[in-house]
A and B are shown apart, each in its own frame.
Chain A
């Protein structure tokens, strides 16, 4: 498949405005797309080959496609009639309520996951990292639904599929169910609150790593445990990563505890996370009394931070939007990033670190040979995109325009 994406605007640099603020310089280009990658980039002032197929983007700003890095495609009520969440007394009560409806929901797994993928994709994310329950109640049923849904979108959505022991890893035959999941389509190993749920930190973490090693797959652990116990869990996990030579292959999701400790402790763990390239996944919650990891500090220390929408419209939360860009907007707002550069740099958390301009405003993306996965919007710059969150978007995945 070969065509030209014409009249797209790319960010090419910075300039100083009359009022003394930094503005983003944009220019128009034509991009040749061949087999899902960028073949040529030329100025919009240059003529195109006569017979070339063209798709006119009419001056829309071109940004890298987004990545949704923490989700639960198996849990949503989307495509089913509205219902709110029932309040729970505590985490165990919440888990019990989820368990009670798992088998009913499993019947519509594919349909629900497809509706969610569709929403996430149309908002601009062409990659989805999903956790999928592997539990003693329905075993691999949710995995089957999610795999079937992702199969439907395989040409336009890539995915990480994490076998997730939502109801505890060290119970019943869950470790063997986890292994079965990895033999049947799951691509990563998950984990959950070793202290809070498994009531054993080390054995839980080692079991996660053993399974990962056995199947040679990456890891992403849910860690809500707060304060020092959560902090210790992260610290211990980094030990295990070192021992297992699992540098750059693991992530901690939520990691609220990193927001609960002193700045000194944050710096210490940030150095260790960066050294072992352990990533942090945040859903940027705003509920009062909830600390979130020190994202700016982690970024400064070289830790990769990614955002996700988390599960939404499910038995855990009825809120959300399925728009990963909203998480970037929200992070910019809560951390008071309001100037052009600060806004622009926030985009990195939803694009796997890619920004069109470097930190200091030099051209960085796109380049010939890059994957042709884009989001296009009517906006003056990526800073405007982050601040204003335009709703109308054209999404292109590996050269395919999402209709």
Chain B
């Protein structure tokens, strides 16, 4: 048995109202005992035997750890020399053509760079990582293998999913046998990409993807950049396939840009179809001048789980990306015009797999005895404070173990 006692942690308890308006978050200071990897006691004062590790949180805020739900660990410049992307003259095809030369060239450093990202994500408070890994004619299954090896090194600190990702088209690049091989080698989810734009055969592309998922008893996570009615059509088809295959609750649409480009009534119709098969969505919260972000809060309110992901930190697709999920939520707040304590507070769920200390009604629901001990200590006094002012994470706890610490001057309510 391993145990850890966190002394003096700040827990959110309720919202504070003035004139029926939420103006602040009330917190209390507690001790939290973790035994093995779960929380076993929460009380104002807990006394333990001498041989139990005690960590003084100094009244820092305790919040649920992050889950990074969309990243490509396998193809990155991160940890290497600076390189700006080239000018794309032929859209996504320019990038795919580049990969055919670039990825084999990067193979010798790929594991090193993947590990650099994993370390950075851990330091930024993530205890779960979902990584897409190219499965293509040049790389074969090597990316799946090397990323798995890297992630296995951090087992105990993080859990993970590996998505076998036919970036160059499941049909177009003829990778069906390679995809199956990737699933055998340890990929946990079947990926896909724009059946219309890349494979140019919506029906057959989606069907083949789902067939692999059924054969390997796995879930699906598909990249869908295709816009408005085209993307909507693909999602609709996918929802029908999901039902047919009995994959309810196991299918994710990444990006789902189509949801940003629909009129209200077709949007509602599509959301209902997605919700029926418990399809979920991941978004990087893109901020392009001429494009909208998908209506993340509206999707959630209507039964679609939405998670955020960083996608890329710096690669041949994009030079931007921070790996900092607090910044990501801050951008989400700005994008959706959240300025008050309550609405900023509610953003945490998009990064934590839905876990928040207070529920929508302001009742304390986390942490509870029996909860997994994946959590963060932060130099802030409320979730809203942390997101708005990007308060730093000082301690990352995974499965009851402290896996990362950074020493900073604590400022608390004055940060």
Given contacts A82-B380, A333-B287, A387-B314, is CB(A319)–CB(B330) below 8 Å? yes
Chain B nearest CB from A13 CB (Å) reads: 16
Q: Contact check, B86 vs A20: say whether CB atoms are below 8 A apart.
A: yes
Chain B residues in the interface with A (C-beta under 8 A) = 21, 23-24, 81-87, 102, 287-289, 292-293, 314, 318-320, 322, 330-331, 333-337, 339-341, 344, 380-382, 384-385, 388-390, 413-415
A338 in complex: contacting residue of B102, B318, B337, B382, CB < 8 Å = B318
Given contacts A286-B331, A287-B335, A388-B314, is CB(A82)–CB(B84) below 8 Å? no
Contacts of B337 in A (CB 8 A): 287-288
Q: Contact check, B85 vs A288: say whether CB atoms are below 8 A apart.
A: no
CA distance A388 to B83 in the complex (A): 11
CA distance A98 to B276 in the complex (A): 46
Contacts of A379 in B (CB 8 A): 82
Tell which of A82, A329, A330 has the most Cβ of chain B within 10 Å: A82
Q: Contact check, A335 vs B415: say whether CB atoms are below 8 A apart.
A: no
CA distance A380 to B80 in the complex (A): 11
B389 in complex: contacting residue of A22, A318, A329, CB < 8 Å = A318
Docked complex: A319-343 residues within 8 A CB-CB of B: 319, 321, 329-330, 332-336, 338-340, 343
Main secondary structure of the interface of B (DSSP, over half): loop
Tell which of A84, A313, A332 has the most Cβ of chain B within 10 Å: A84
Residue A86 CB within 8 A of the other chain: yes
Given contacts A292-B289, A333-B287, A387-B314, is CB(A84)–CB(B388) below 8 Å? yes
Q: Contact check, A288 vs B84: say whether CB atoms are below 8 A apart.
A: no
Contacts of A334 in B (CB 8 A): 287-289
Q: Contact check, A21 vs B336: say whether CB atoms are below 8 A apart.
A: no
Q: Contact check, A286 vs B340: say whether CB atoms are below 8 A apart.
A: no
Q: Contact check, B381 vs A318: say whether CB atoms are below 8 A apart.
A: no
Chain A nearest CB from B358 CB (Å) reads: 14
CA distance A317 to B23 in the complex (A): 14
Contacts of B335 in A (CB 8 A): 286-288
CA distance A387 to B85 in the complex (A): 11
Contacts of B319 in A (CB 8 A): 338, 343, 383-384, 387-388
CA distance A87 to B318 in the complex (A): 35
CA distance A339 to B287 in the complex (A): 18
Docked complex: A45-97 residues within 8 A CB-CB of B: 79-87
Q: Contact check, A338 vs B84: say whether CB atoms are below 8 A apart.
A: yes
Contacts of B414 in A (CB 8 A): 79-82
B336 in complex: contacting residue of A87, A288, A318, CB < 8 Å = A288
Which residue of chain A has its CB nearest to the CB of B387?
A319
Which residue of chain A has its CB nearest to the CB of B382?
A82
Number of contacting residues on A, CB 8 A? 44
Contacts of B85 in A (CB 8 A): 21, 338-339
Contacts of B82 in A (CB 8 A): 379-381, 383-384, 388
Residue A19 CB within 8 A of the other chain: yes
Given contacts A86-B23, A387-B320, is CB(A343)–CB(B314) below 8 Å? no
Q: Contact check, B339 vs A319: say whether CB atoms are below 8 A apart.
A: yes
Q: Contact check, B341 vs A84: say whether CB atoms are below 8 A apart.
A: yes
Given contacts A292-B289, A336-B288, is CB(A21)–CB(B340) below 8 Å? no
B344 in complex: contacting residue of A22, A318, A321, A339, CB < 8 Å = A318
Contacts of B318 in A (CB 8 A): 338
Docked complex: A356-381 residues within 8 A CB-CB of B: 379-381
Q: Contact check, B340 vs A339: say whether CB atoms are below 8 A apart.
A: no
**In the A-B complex, the 10 residue pairs with the closest CB atoms:** A387-B319, A84-B341, A380-B82, A85-B339, A318-B388, A340-B84, A384-B82, A81-B413, A82-B385, A334-B289
| 16 A-B pairs whose Cβ atoms sit less than 8 Å apart in the complex | A21-B84, A22-B84, A80-B414, A81-B414, A82-B413, A84-B24, A287-B337, A313-B389, A319-B330, A333-B287, A333-B320, A338-B320, A340-B84, A383-B319, A384-B82, A389-B322
Which residue of chain B has its CB nearest to the CB of A330?
B287
Chain B nearest CB from A160 CB (Å) reads: 26
Contacts of B344 in A (CB 8 A): 84, 318
Contacts of A333 in B (CB 8 A): 287, 320
Contacts of B385 in A (CB 8 A): 82, 84
